[in-house]
Amino acid sequence: MLYNVVVNDWGETTYVPTTLGNILLFVAIAILLALAVLFMKKHTVKLTVKQLAFCALSIALGTVLSNIKVISFPTGGSITLLSMLIICLPGYLFGVGAGVLTGIAYGVLQMLVDPYILFPAQLVVDYLLAFGALGLSGLFANTKQGLLKGYITAILGRYFFAVLSGCMFFGAYAWEGWNPVAYSCVYNGIYIFAEAVLTIILLAIPAVNKSFARVRRMALE
């Protein structure tokens, strides 16, 4: 089990991470850091001033769009105006290393601008790991439909850490009769995949796809 069910002094049911749950958290962090190191070695991150400007612009634009919330959920998470797509762009443009670093930087900014932190360890999972995973968009940069493939991979990465956070830190908010794991899968899936579906539909438009391809050529010139 990832959690223990505990009834506090006020009769409220809460869920406390077990030793296994904490171990899983630290293993997830260690794996991501190890992958980041491997990617950094394989894809040396040497960005030009122009490329750094692209990354900074993505962070700035992504932050603006993240505050344009189509739907906002009470215990964290929202459907935004394509903010995740914008943060996925540096990975698609310059590779996984640059993408992960940009995602982490964006996560730190989100933590400062729009924090929702109940536990210290949640900060790492929700803001560093989940947003850092958006850098996985660079895995398919040089393949056909690379942005679409990379975006889907990045979204699944963010979803994994969002579900992990929900299981470990927000089990008390599970709907009546729901297991915290199932609740976290559904709750996080609603807002993450709703935005993802809208984005995938947009990327399926040939003119939009060609526009992003032109942006990539311009960024790499």
Task: Say which amino acid occupies 97.
Answer: G
Q: How far apart are CA 153 and CA 160, in angstroms?
A: 11
Which of 200, 83, 196 is closest to 145 using CA atoms?
A: 200
Which pLDDT does position 151 carry in this prediction? 96
Select the CATH number that applies to the domain covering 3-220 from these four: 1.10.1760.20, 3.40.50.150, 1.10.10.520, 1.10.390.10. Answer: 1.10.1760.20
What is the 8-class DSSP label of residue 173? G
pLDDT tens-digit series, residues 78-91: 899 999 999 999 99
Q: How far apart are CA 38 and CA 122, in angstroms?
A: 25
Dihedral angle over CA of 100, 101, 106, 108, nearest 10: 110
Angle at 76 between CA 130 and CA 35, to 5 degrees: 5
Angle at 39 between CA 123 and CA 89, to 5 degrees: 70
Q: What stretches in the chain show pLDDT beneath 70?
A: 1-18, 21-22, 24-26, 28-46
Which pLDDT does position 12 carry in this prediction? 46
Q: How far apart are CA 8 and CA 24, in angstroms?
A: 25
DSSP bridge partners of 3: 17
Which pLDDT does position 62 carry in this prediction? 95
Which pLDDT does position 218 carry in this prediction? 87
Domain coordinates in residue numbering, the chain: 3-220
Which pLDDT does position 97 carry in this prediction? 84
Which of 168, 143, 148 is closest to 29 using CA atoms?
A: 168
DSSP bridge partners of 7: 13
Which of 15, 53, 20, 27 is closest to 167 using CA atoms?
A: 15
CB 99 within 8 A of CB 138: yes
CB 157 within 8 A of CB 131: no
